[in-house]
Every structure is written in structure tokens, then in C-alpha cells.
Chain A
Amino acid sequence: MLLEVEALNVRYGRNHAVRDVSLSVAEGEIVTVLGANGAGKSSLLKAIQGTVSSSSKVARFSGNDLLSLSSHKRVSSGLVLVPEGRQIFVSMTVHENLLMGAYCRRDTEVAADIEGVYGRFPNLAQRRDLPASVLSGGEQQMLAISRALLARPTLMMLDEPSLGLSPILVNQLFDLITSLNREGLSILLVEQNTHKALQTAARGYVLELGRVVVEGTPEQLRSGEQLEAAYLGAG
């Protein structure tokens, strides 16, 4: 297993946001985490990335104990998070955003990798020296994903990447996720767009009030009643 967590808990004061969640991602796999607003999906990703504190029985990523790595070291070990709302640096140029993505790297191939990104996304290449604030929502999401790619990750976590995108752009986004996965990137995807997420992922987990209520293949998740119940907030 590339990523393995067991009995992970996140507490914000009295709010117990993530409760005893166990989850794994195998190498080359796309795994999705579904659930309603406030189910604890973002907190789960942030805990794995180390930007919120958590406790767990096991937390391993590509052979390393996550607890021994501070958040910025998890990035250089190959674990990146594309946060909810993209969080690109709007006061910087497109190019500077990409350079920030490669911040954790010291090798000489950064420039070549950035050219690779420009080859994949000509829109970004055209706007390379403009402030990132001029990009459209779709372009900002491409930039956020490209920026994360420049850390040369082995596992990319995406927090609601389709939020606020038009249906055409959502399709493009999921095509991109699939092709990145074919190139060898493992993906942990948090989504509200259940339909697209289950089309893309090999396995999924459904969170409700911080707990995993059901897990399995897309077929298992679609046929069960828990998925619907989790969104309707039953219980």
C-alpha cells in the first residue's frame, strides 16, 4: 500500500470531525472519498497532509511513518494536496506559481518540467507572465493541479476539484485525472460530484459525520443505500 491510515481522528476542540477512519490507496490506484458537506472529507485530507493535527494508530506513506514527517517534508516525500478552492497565489504570475510548486525540489529538471506543463496546457503558457488572478476558474484549477505536479508527487490528493466548474470543464478535469493516473500517479479524490467520481475511481469510501459508513468498488457503493443516506443526512 502506498498510503495507509488506520483509526485516524481529527478534533477541533469539542468538534470531533474525523472519527476512527481507516483508508488505503494502492500504488497506481484512484480512490475517492464521498460524503455530504461537513462529513469530514477535507479534514481527512488535511490530516494526511499534516496541516491539521490528528491522532492515528497507523499512518504510513510509501514506507515512511507520516507522524515523523512534518507537513512540508510530506510534500518532498511525494504526497501533495490540491486544496479546496485551488488556493493559487493570485499576487504571483502563472510562472511563479509553478516555480512555487517545485519549491521542495533541488534538481535541475524543474525548468524542463515546467515546459512540459506549458506543453500540456497552452492556455497557461500564453499567460505565463500574467498575474494568476487573470485566469478563469478552469484555468486556475489547471494551474493548481500543474503546480502540485511540479513537486513530482507519487500520490496527489484533490479536494473537490470540480467545484464551481462548468459541465464541460468537469469532464475535461476528470479526463485529466484519468490520464495523470495512467502516467503512474496515484490519486485520492474528495468529491461532491458522486457520479463522475465513481466513474473514475477504482474504489471509494463514504463518510458520514466523520465516520466511514461504507467502502468498496463503485458498483457496491452505487447499489447500496448508504451512499444516498449519507447525502440526505439520514440518521
Chain B
Amino acid sequence: MLLVQQLISGLMIGGIYVMVAVAFTLTIGMLNFLNFTIPALFMLAGMVAWGLTTVGIHWAIALLGGVATATIASLIVERFTYRYMRVRYGDATEHALPLVSSLGFLIVFEHLVLIVLGSEIQRFPNPFSSADFYIGGLIIGIPQLASLVLALLIVWGLSTMLKRSRVGRALRSIAENPDASTLMGVNVNFIVPVVFIITGLMAGIAGMLFTLNYAAVNAYMGDEVAAKAIAGMVIGGLGNIWGAIAGGLIVGVTEVLAIHFFGADIVKIPIWGLLLVLLIIRPSGLFGHTAIGKGKF
């Protein structure tokens, strides 16, 4: 029974990893670029929301403000890493420059938050403190359940958008062949910011859900989550949305099971151990080159 309880908790925290992993995988699949700013966007959503509640703003509006800040920050990163490099040095995707400058933005954003909002762990008002329900002795937290459902719904919506809509097809065409995509009349300079808006929204909403679940924020809250999300993304297969979903959930479950059986201190070893073993057996990740993986999105 306790084990089932752990599995449920694992899936719920996994929902947050799924969203962050999808944010990572999207920029890799579309732009061939590991966007290191994602943990900062995640953290900005939480910290800005907390900052807004301290000046008396309602928690719900504060959370929306946090997500909006993350999205705007993501667009700033696009303007000064990806687009700048592209204009200046041609096809930036072939260089490590955007990767390094996104790492720079991560550090800048984190330190700006440190200066303005401080480095302590802050309590976020928990609006659902006792909102749990029980099924046959299993405790299910409403915010956790809501965030798992919301995360999966958003990822499903995103994948439907990529599959069926005009913008979605344009994004996939850029992912496959940006030159041919331009020949179809796709304005790459208009579409690329769309990827960054989606990234900002995904990371920001994940940060919002994390804040609601744990009712605590700090300036480094994004780093650990992002590391686990990257592990999940690689386990699932780079650049593949369904892989990111599976990988994120697997990491969430592995994490709680590891805590259950071995304690919290060594939780990172099973996650990264799993990743390393999987990379030896299947370097492409679970869905890297399978039927699901082939279409990428």
C-alpha cells in the first residue's frame, strides 16, 4: 500500500519534470540548442509570484504574474542569444554560442533574483493546505493531482498543435529543414520566437505548479528540477515530446521509490545511474529511433 502511495506521488512530481523536459526537448528538437535558461525561467515564475504576494497581491494573480515574467524573460533570451548570434554569425544553430550565452543568462537571472528577493527559502501561501482526498487509504493531494493533470493536458495540447495546426507544421518544418521551410514562405524570424514563448510558458507553468505543490520557493529552485528533467529527457530520447513525457514520469517515480527504499541522501544516484545504464544499452533513449520517435513531434 505504501508502495502504491509512493508510485502515485512519483507520478505527480513527475508531471512537473515532464513539463520542464518538454521545454528542453522542444528547443533541442526545433533549434538544436540546449537552452540553459530554462531553470531560471522556472525559478522566476516562483520567485516573482512570491515577491508579488509580499506586496499584498492575491496568490493567483501573483502566480500568473510569475508565469508572464518567465515568458518575457524567455523572449529576452531569444533576442540576445539566438537571434543576435544568427544575425551576426549566420546559422547560430551550428555553434555552441547560444548554449553558452543561455548559461550566462541563467546566472544573470538567478543573481538578479538573489539581489532583489534574497537567497532564503520563502514560504508561499498554500491555498490548498488541507485539500487531500482518500481512495481506499491512499492520500491524493489535490494540488499534486491537478498539476499532473494540467501538465499532461498542456503537453497533449502542445503536441496536437504541432501535429494539426499551420504554425505547428511550420515549426516542424523548421525543425527538419529551415532552408526548405523558408522556400515555403515561412518567416523563420517570426516562428523562432514562438518556440521561446512556448518554452517560457512551459517552464513558467511548471514553476507555478512546483510553487503550489511545495509552498516554498528560493532562487535555486530551478536547478535541481532542471537537472532531473534533462535526465528524463535523455532517458526518453532527445527531441521527442513523448519521450520527454515518459522520461519525466520515470524520473519522478524513480525518485520517490529511491527515497522510500534508500533514503533521501542518495536519491540522485538511482536517477543518474538509470540514465547511465540506459545510455549504455540504448544510446538513443527509450523513444529515440523507434516508431514513435521517428516523427519527433
With known contacts A51-B179, A87-B177, A103-B166, A92–B172 Cβ distance under 8 A: yes
**Among listed B184-192, B241-249, B259-267, interface-contacting one:** B184-192
| Contacting residues, chain B, for A163 (C-beta < 8 A) | none
Which residues in window 148-197 of A have CB below 8 A to B? Answer: 148, 151
CA distance A148 to B180 in the complex (A): 11
Give Cα A75–Cα B188 distance, bound, in whole angstroms: 13
For A87, what are the chain B residues with a Cβ–Cβ distance below 8 Å?
177, 179-180, 183
Contact between A103 and B170 (Cβ–Cβ < 8 Å)? Answer: yes
With a CB–CB cut-off of 8 A, which chain A residues contact B172?
A: 89, 91-92
Q: Which of A59-67, A94-102, A224-232 contacts B (4 or more CB under 8 A)?
A: A94-102
The 8 A CB mask of A28-62 against B (1 = contact, 0 = none) is: 00000000000000000000010100000000000
Write the nearest CB–CB distance from A87 to chain B, whole angstroms: 4
B185 touches A75 (CB 8 A): yes
A148 to B183 CA separation, bound complex (whole angstroms): 9
Q: Please give me the residue from chain B that is nearest to A88 by CB atom.
A: B180
Let me know if A89 and B177 touch, CB within 8 A: yes
Q: Which residues of A contact B228 (CB under 8 A)?
A: none
Contact A104 B185 (CB under 8 A): yes
User: Counting CB contacts under 8 A, is A147 at the interface?
Assistant: yes
Q: Are the CB atoms of B294 and A91 closer together than 8 Å?
A: yes
Evaluate whether A103 and B186 lie within 8 angstroms (CB atoms) in the complex, with A89-B173, A91-B295, A96-B169 already known: yes
CA gap between A38 and B220 in the complex, in Å = 54
Question: Is B182 part of the contact surface with A, judged by Cβ < 8 Å?
Answer: yes
Judge whether A140 is part of the interface by a CB distance below 8 angstroms.
Answer: no
**A133 (CB) vs chain B CBs: closest residue:** B294
Contacts of B176 in A (CB 8 A): 89-92
Instruction: Give the total of B residues in contact with A, Cβ under 8 Å.
Output: 21
CB within 8 A of B183: which of A51, A90, A92? Answer: A51
Is A146's beta carbon under 8 Å from chain B? Answer: no
Tell me the total A-B contact number using a CB cutoff of 8 A. 66
Q: Which residues of A contact B181 (CB under 8 A)?
A: 100
Minimum distance in angstroms from A132 CB to a CB of chain B:
10
B residues 167-221 near A (Cβ < 8 Å) are: 169-170, 172-173, 175-177, 179-188
Is A70 among interface residues, defined by CB-CB distance under 8 A? yes
Whether A22 is near chain B, meaning CB under 8 Å from some CB there, is: no
In the bound complex, residues from chain B placing their C-beta under 8 Å from that of A51 are 179, 182-183
Q: How far is the CA of A100 from the CA of B183 in the complex (A)?
A: 10
Counting chain A residues whose Cβ lies within 8 A of the other chain, the interface size class is 20 to 34
| A92 to B, closest residue via Cβ | B172
A75: which B residues are within 8 A, CB to CB?
183-185
Q: Is A89 a contact of B180 with CB atoms below 8 Å? A: yes
Q: How far is the CA of A175 from the CA of B175 in the complex (A)?
A: 34
Within 8 A of B (CB), among A68-89: 70-73, 75-76, 80-81, 83, 87-89
Contact A70 B183 (CB under 8 A): no
Whole-angstrom CA separation of A161 from B294 in the bound complex: 28
**Distance between B105 CB and nearest chain A CB, rounded to angstroms:** 28
CB contact list, A100-116 vs B, under 8 A: 100-101, 103-104
Distance in Å from the Cβ of A208 to the closest Cβ of chain B? 26
Q: How far, in whole Å, are A88 and B182 apart by their CA atoms in the complex? A: 12
> B188's closest neighbor in chain A, by CB?
A72
User: With A91-B172, A91-B296, A96-B169 known to touch, is A103 a contact of B185 (CB < 8 Å)?
Assistant: yes
* A88 vs B176: C-alpha distance when bound (angstroms): 10
Q: Pick the contact of B184: A91, A103, A131 (CB < 8 A).
A: A103
Chain B 38-71 near chain A by CB (<8 Å), digits 1 or 0: 0000000000000000000000000000000000
Minimum C-beta distance from A108 to chain B (A): 14
Chain B: CB-nearest residue to A99:
B169
Quick one: given A87-B177, A91-B295, are A151 and B169 in contact (CB under 8 Å)? no
Which residues of chain B are within 8 angstroms of A90 by Cβ–Cβ distance? Answer: 176
Q: Which of B170, B172, B188, B296 has the most CB of A within 10 A?
A: B172
Residue from B183, B184, B187, B188 with most neighbouring chain A CB atoms (10 Å): B183
Which of A76, A81, A103, A148 has its CB near the most chain B CB atoms (within 10 A)? A103
A83 adjacent to B185 (CB under 8 Å): no
The residues of B that contact A80 with a CB separation of less than 8 Å are: 183
Chain B CB within 10 Å, residue with most, of A70, A89, A96, A99: A89
Smallest CB gap from B297: residue in A: A91
The residues of A that contact B187 with a CB separation of less than 8 Å are 70, 72
With contacts A71-B182, A72-B187 known, what are 16 further pairs, Cβ within 8 A?
A: A51-B179, A51-B183, A75-B184, A76-B185, A88-B180, A89-B173, A89-B176, A91-B172, A91-B295, A92-B169, A103-B166, A103-B184, A103-B185, A104-B184, A131-B295, A151-B184
Closest 5 A/B residue pairs (Cβ): A104-B185, A75-B185, A87-B180, A72-B187, A72-B185
Please name 25 pairs of A and B residues whose Cβ atoms are closer than 8 Å in the assembled complex, sorted by A. A49-B183, A51-B179, A51-B183, A71-B182, A71-B183, A72-B186, A73-B185, A75-B183, A75-B185, A81-B183, A83-B183, A87-B179, A87-B183, A88-B180, A89-B173, A89-B176, A89-B180, A90-B176, A92-B172, A99-B169, A100-B173, A100-B181, A103-B166, A103-B170, A151-B185
